[in-house]
């Protein structure tokens, strides 16, 4: 049998028995789509996160308070004074205490949901915001507990529309603040809307909330990257101030990157395993349909053998049929997976990072599964004696 005839005869049943072919490729389609979507999503997310972390600078160190364990006699947290004094540790250049909460901002009858940050003037630059209008408030505003605020672009638009908000007043938690600046838009990141923010002096924030310890401190080292000695000194100081090493967590940029990487590697492994199993299950479904197809086509096999088909030719035809079904399933699955990845990364506001080898590998793996699942049914078809095959009704 010529190769073009083998292909033609292998493809024909797929067109005639559309439903059966569709059923047999469904499992593989779903499996491949799942592999591509999950791995692409994890990869895109982890690259977005690590890109963001990298942007914060290699010299960033973050201290966060751990949640208080009930009935423990741990200290509440760092005072403002203690957090500031971290800046004077050898090797450190900057320390910005940061507290935050989500609440509602108001202007007249208009309200907008907002995340309020209490910090020092340096927070805007640490978080890489740029001012679009007005100015940042100053260290003096902090020391004198001024009710001044820098608004995120979205919050400004929601409260003031296209009007200039500089010098106008907004309400936060029942107190009135004067707007001194507006930030340039930054866009969303995952679920976090980075433009619905209000940044106020931490002293004002603490006076308002009544809590006088800080949740976290953003530090920057003087050298391009934090070295172990500097971290050690920082931990010594924190142990002294807090009286307990379990009260806080210190993260350097490289640690954050390592954690991100570890999580994404682990997720990728787990998800790839799950997806591989689903492709295999899809393959078993296909095996079933192929076996059904062989027993339905016993007479056809008998006819082919009667007119001179050899075992290898029957085997080739049925194998090719299953490889093609699986390949179509793999290609449709790849298309679906890419589509789903595009859609989901858009919804999550992260950049799509699509490795073109993944869909390609998905299609090739499907063909492998197709070949594997085709062997047994095709061998059964090929070894049927022609008289047996023709006697069937």
Partner 1 sequence: MLLLRDISKVYQGRSPAIALQGINLTLPQGEFLAVVGSSGSGKSTLLNILGLLDRPTTGEYWIDGTRVRGWSDARLARMRNETLGFVYQSFNLIPTLSARENVELPLVYRQVPPKERRHQVDLWLERVRLSDRMHHYPAELSGGQQQRVAVARALVHNPKVLFADEPTANLDGDSTDEIVRVFDEVHASGQTIVLITHDRYFAQAADRVVKLAHGRLVSEAVTRRAN
Q: Which chain residues interact with partner 1 by CB under 8 A?
A: 1-2, 4-5, 9, 12-13, 16-17, 299-300, 302-311, 313, 386-387, 390
Nearer to partner 1, 262 or 391 (CB): 391
Q: How far is the CB of 8 from partner 1 (least distance, A)?
A: 8
Helix (H) or strand (E) holding 221: strand 216-221
The nearest distance, CB 316 to partner 1, in angstroms, is 12
Contact 146, 201 (CB under 8 A): yes
* Minimum gap (Å) between residue 4 Cβ and partner 1: 8
Angle at 306 between CA 305 and CA 310, to 5 degrees: 30
Residue 232 vs 311, nearer CB to partner 1: 311
| DSSP assignment of 24-62 | HHHHHHHHHHHHHHHHHHHHHHHHHHHHHHHHT-TTEEE
Instruction: Pull the structure tokens for residue 151.
Output: 């608004």
Shortest Å distance, C-beta 324 to partner 1: 14
- Between 135 and 391, whose beta carbon lies closer to partner 1? 391
**Token digits of residue 12:** 């024909």
Start-to-end CA span in the chain (Å): 27
Cβ burial 187-216 (10 Å sphere, 16+ → b, else e): ebeeeebbbbbbbbbbbbbbebeeeebbbb
Give the nearer residue to partner 1 in terms of CB position, either 67 or 308. Answer: 308
Q: How far is the CB of 1 from partner 1 (least distance, A)?
A: 6
Q: How far is C-alpha 49 from the chain's CA centre?
A: 8
**CB atoms < 10 A from the CB of 279, how many?**
26
Confirm if 257 and 53 have CB atoms less than 8 A apart.
yes
- Element at 177 (helix H, strand E): strand 175-183
**Closest approach of partner 1 to the CB of residue 378, in Å:** 16
Asked if 156 and 182 touch (Cβ cutoff 8 Å), the reply is yes
Our CB check for partner 1 shows the closer of 309 and 320 to be 309
Residues in the chain: 393
Q: For residue 65, which of 298, 245, 293 has the smallest C-alpha distance?
A: 245
Residue 2 vs 88, nearer CB to partner 1: 2
Q: Which is nearer to partner 1, 172 or 320 (CB)?
A: 320
Residue 137's closest CA among 200, 75, 205, 183? 200
Pick the closer one to partner 1 by CB: 19 or 71: 19
Q: How far is the CB of 307 from partner 1 (least distance, A)?
A: 5
Smallest distance from partner 1 to CB 191, Å? 52
**Cβ closer to partner 1: 274 or 292?**
292
Kindly state the smallest distance separating residue 300's Cβ from partner 1, in Å.
Answer: 5
Beta strands in 40-168 (DSSP E): 60-65, 78-79, 92-107, 110-119, 131-134, 148-151
């Amino acid at each position: 049998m010529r190769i073009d005839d083998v292909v033609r005869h292998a493809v024909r049943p797929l067109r005639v028995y559309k439903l059966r072919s569709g059923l047999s490729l469904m499992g593989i389609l779903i499996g491949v789509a799942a592999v591509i979507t999950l791995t692409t999503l994890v990869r895109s997310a982890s690259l977005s996160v690590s890109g963001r972390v990298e942007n914060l600078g290699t010299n960033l160190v973050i201290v966060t308070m751990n949640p208080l364990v009930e009935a423990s006699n741990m200290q509440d947290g760092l005072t403002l004074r203690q957090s500031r004094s971290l800046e004077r540790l050898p090797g450190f250049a900057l320390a910005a205490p940061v507290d935050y909460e989500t609440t509602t901002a108001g202007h007249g009858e208009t309200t907008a949901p907002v995340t309020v940050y209490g910090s020092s003037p340096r927070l805007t630059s640490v978080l890489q915001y740029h001012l679009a209008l007005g100015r940042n408030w100053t260290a003096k505003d902090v020391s004198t507990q001024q009710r001044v605020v820098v608004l995120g672009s979205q919050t400004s638009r929601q409260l003031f529309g296209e009007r200039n908000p500089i010098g106008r007043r907004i309400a936060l938690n029942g107190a009135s603040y004067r707007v001194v600046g507006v930030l340039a838009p930054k866009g969303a990141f995952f679920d976090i809307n980075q433009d619905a923010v209000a940044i106020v002096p931490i002293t004002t924030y603490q006076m308002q909330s009544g809590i006088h310890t800080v949740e976290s401190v953003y530090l920057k080292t003087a050298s391009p990257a934090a070295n172990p000695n500097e971290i050690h000194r920082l931990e010594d100081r924190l142990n002294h101030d807090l009286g307990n090493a379990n009260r806080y967590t210190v993260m350097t940029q490289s640690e954050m990157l390592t954690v991100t990487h570890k999580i994404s590697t682990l997720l990728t492994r787990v998800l790839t395993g799950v997806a591989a199993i689903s492709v295999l299950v899809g393959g078993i479904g296909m095996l079933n349909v192929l076996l059904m197809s062989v027993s339905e086509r016993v007479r056809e096999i008998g006819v082919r053998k009667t007119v001179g088909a050899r075992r290898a030719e029957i085997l080739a035809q049925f194998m090719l049929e299953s490889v093609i079904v699986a390949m179509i399933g793999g290609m449709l699955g790849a298309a679906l997976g890419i589509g789903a990845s595009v859609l989901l990364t858009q919804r999550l506001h992260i950049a799509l990072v699509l490795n073109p080898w993944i869909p390609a590998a998905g299609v090739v793996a499907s063909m492998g599964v197709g070949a594997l699942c085709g062997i047994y049914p095709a061998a059964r078809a090929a070894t049927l004696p022609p008289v047996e095959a023709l006697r069937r009704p």
